[in-house]
Amino acid sequence: MKSLVVANWKMNPGTRREAKQLFAATKKAADSSPHVSVVVAPPSIFLRELKSAYSGKKIAFAAQDGRAEPTGAHTGEVSLAQSKDAGAQYAVIGHAERRAAGESDEEIGKRVAAALALKLTPIVCVGESKRDQSGSHFDVVRMQLRAALLSVEPPQLARCIIAYEPVWSIGAERAMNPRDMHEMAIFIRKTTVDFKGEGGMHVKILYGGSIDDTNAADMLKNGDVHGFLVGRASEEARKLEALLRAIEDK
């Protein structure tokens, strides 16, 4: 099965010209990686132009977030429907940086439902801020999953992707240990089965947080994940090429 790499550019790069350059390099790296599917999540201001100029099939586009309402009095915001219209097929929802900016579990649940209704594939981000010996991270992930999947009908689960991103590993020096990811992947599947039935067994799981060419292969082999949500290693051409090569060589 192909691995999935979601390139979350966050609020980068700074100009349209650089965005086109980064996309060209991403396209080149993706084209020489037959075992990897690539989704690019650019800032929404670059989405339509990158998508319109791209005639290939290898790369799909994602919104980095989006409001559930299609239109309305929400100054400064972009709706999921607008991103869909601009060419997105996926939507990252509930990223830790959006949660930190005040997006609630309830709001995330609405956005997941809206994405599915628009036939966008939601990439639902969950993950605890801190981890200690008490095991409370499992409770946090369980609550986040419950809220995010609240309105998801069991048959829609096949169209959902869960991205587990422990907040302490995002933008950090080291990724999580693959054995711990494996344990979390089992927990996520079991919890999804508890909430939504057997379909939860097959939900696609990504890992995110400090993934690069040095740790990706080990995480794919031992972490029980389908791929990655990647920040920094997707924002520079050289790092993205190295990451895709590492996955390809696995």
User: By CB under 6 A, which span of 23-31, 99-107, 164-172, 215-223 interacts with ligand PGA?
Assistant: 164-172
Element (H, E) at 92: strand 90-93
Q: Is 88 helix (H, G, I), strand (E, B) or coil?
A: coil
Q: Which residue, 12 or 89, has its beta carbon nearer to ligand PGA?
A: 12
Question: Can you read off the two tokens belonging to residue 49?
Answer: 């132009």
CA–CA gap between residue 141 and residue 90 (Å, rounded): 22
C-beta separation of 101 from 70 below 8 A: no
Q: Which stretch binds ligand PGA (CB under 6 A): 21-29, 68-76, 105-113, 202-210?
A: 202-210
- In which residue are the tokens 């909430």 written? 195
Tokens of 116: 């599915």
Q: Which of 76, 83, 148 is nearest to 119 (CA)?
A: 83
- Positions 38 through 97 that interact with ligand PGA (CB under 6 A): none
Would you count residue 206 as binding ligand PGA (CB under 6 A)? no
> What type of residue is 157?
L
DSSP assignment, residue 206?
E
Of the candidate residues 116, 211, 244, 246, the single one contacting ligand PGA (CB under 6 A): 211
Near ligand PGA by CB under 6 A: residue from 122, 128, 161, 165 = 165
Beta bridge partners of 208: 229
- 91 residue type, one letter: A
Size of the site for ligand PGA (CB under 6 A): 13
Write the binding mask 14 to 43 for ligand PGA: x where contact by CB under 6 A, - elsewhere: ------------------------------
Active site residue 77: no
Q: Where do we find the tokens 């972490």?
A: 223
**Is residue 109 within the footprint of ligand PGA (CB under 6 A)?**
no
Shortest distance, CB of residue 10 to ligand PGA, whole angstroms? 7
Clarify whether 226 is annotated catalytic.
no
Q: Choose the catalytic residue: 97, 165, 226, 241.
A: 165
Catalog residues that contact ligand PGA under the rule CB under 6 A.
8, 165, 170-171, 208-211, 229-233
